[in-house]
Amino acid sequence: QQQVKQSPQSLIVQKGGISIINCAYENTAFDYFPWYQQFPGKGPALLIAIRPDVSEKKEGRFTISFNKSAKQFSLHIMDSQPGDSATYFCAASRQAAGNKLTFGGGTRVLVKP
């Protein structure tokens, strides 16, 4: 049973466009929601994270939107660039449970020049 569901599995966006990735979770005890970016042949790297006490967090071109009542959160990549082409994973964890991350299935993003 996958506790964090991520969609879409892949998406193609033109340079300058907006990429949107959605995640839904089941466990209401989750209290930390990071997004990881992974390039081919590399390990995942933290991109941006949010806690449930805020509804939105923005860092540069990357924004997380969080809807606690719907148990959903999303990543928006504004002004997408070819260098953003990567696989993106959402995740969730409970800090009281030792920071164990539960990952979504991943979204492969391709930004066309």
Partner 1 sequence: NAGVTQTPKFRVLKTGQSMTLLCAQDMNHEYMYWYRQDPGMGLRLIHYSVGEGTTAKGEVPDGYNVSRLKKQNFLLGLESAAPSQTSVYFCASNYQGPQHFGPGTRLLVL
Binding of partner 1 by 44 (CB under 8 A): yes
User: Which CB atom, from 18 or from 45, has the smaller least distance to partner 1?
Assistant: 45
Q: Of the ranges 12-20, 33-41, 55-63, 67-75, which one interacts with partner 1 (CB under 8 A)?
A: 33-41
Exactly one of 49, 71, 72, 110 binds partner 1 (CB under 8 A); which one? 49
Residues between 54 and 113 that touch partner 1 (CB under 8 A)? 89, 91, 98-106
CA–CA distance, 71 with 57 (Å, rounded to integer): 16
> In the numeric block, which tokens belong to residue 26?
């089941």
Q: 65-77: string of b/e by CB count within 10 Å (b at 16+)?
A: bbeeeebebbbbb
Exactly one of 12, 29, 46, 78 binds partner 1 (CB under 8 A); which one? 46
Tell which residue, 33, 34, 24, has the closest CA to residue 3: 24
